[in-house]
Amino acid sequence: AIVDDRGQFRSITCNVPGSAHDASVLRLSTVYLRSEELLPTEERIFRGRPIPFMLLGDPAYPRLPWILKGYTWSSDRTRDRRTNNGQTQTGQQTTHATGQQTTPATGLTKEEESFNVYHSAGRNVVEHAFGRLKARWRVTLKRADISYKFMPTVIAAACVLHNFCEQRSEGVRDAWIAAVRDCEQ
C-alpha cells in the first residue's frame, strides 16, 4: 500500500494473500507495473537542489529510482572496516571509505544514521495508518469468516472508509488500538 503523509491510503494491492512478501506484492502492484505513467516526474526544489518524487520503502523493497530506502550495513562497509592486517575493528569509531567516521554498532556515518531516523519517522506514518485501519475494521486484522473471493473488496472498502474517517479527523479509541496490539501478539 502507498500511504500519504496524512495517513491516507493512496494505492492498495488487495489481490495478494496477506502472507506474501512485501517485495512480491510491490511487483504485482499497479504502481510498480505502471510507475512511469502514474508517478510524478517533476522535481521539487528543496534548499536549492532538485529533488525527484520518491516513495519511502523498507529494506524488503528493491532499489528503484522512485523508492527511497534507509541505509544498511553492507558487505562493502565490512571491507571498509578491515585494518591493514585483515582484522576487523570493533568497539571504536572507524573510517568509512569516504573519510567519514562510522559508529561500531552500525557501520554507518552519523549523517546516514540521522537520515535513517527521519526515514523511519516517515515510515511510521504508514505503520500508524495500518494500525488505525485495523482498529476501525477488525475484519482486516486477522482471518475472517468471509470467502477469500470477497476479501479484496472488503479490504478496499475498509481503506476507502478509513480515508473518509481520516479526512474528517475521526479519532480512533485507545481501546481499539490496544485490541489490535493484543490480537497481533
67-68 and 55-56 strand pairing: parallel
Could you give the CA distance from residue 121 to residue 176 in angstroms, rounded to a whole number?
23
Q: What is the pLDDT of residues 95-110, one digit of tens each?
A: 666 666 777 667 899 9
Give the contacts of 14 (CB within 8 A, at least 6 positions apart): 151, 152, 153, 155, 156
Secondary structure class of 156 (helix, strand, coil): helix
Residue 2 burial (CB count, 10 A): 18
pTM confidence score: 0.79
- pLDDT of 44: 94
pLDDT reported for residue 88: 42
Ranges of residues in the chain whose predicted pLDDT is under 50: 75, 79-91
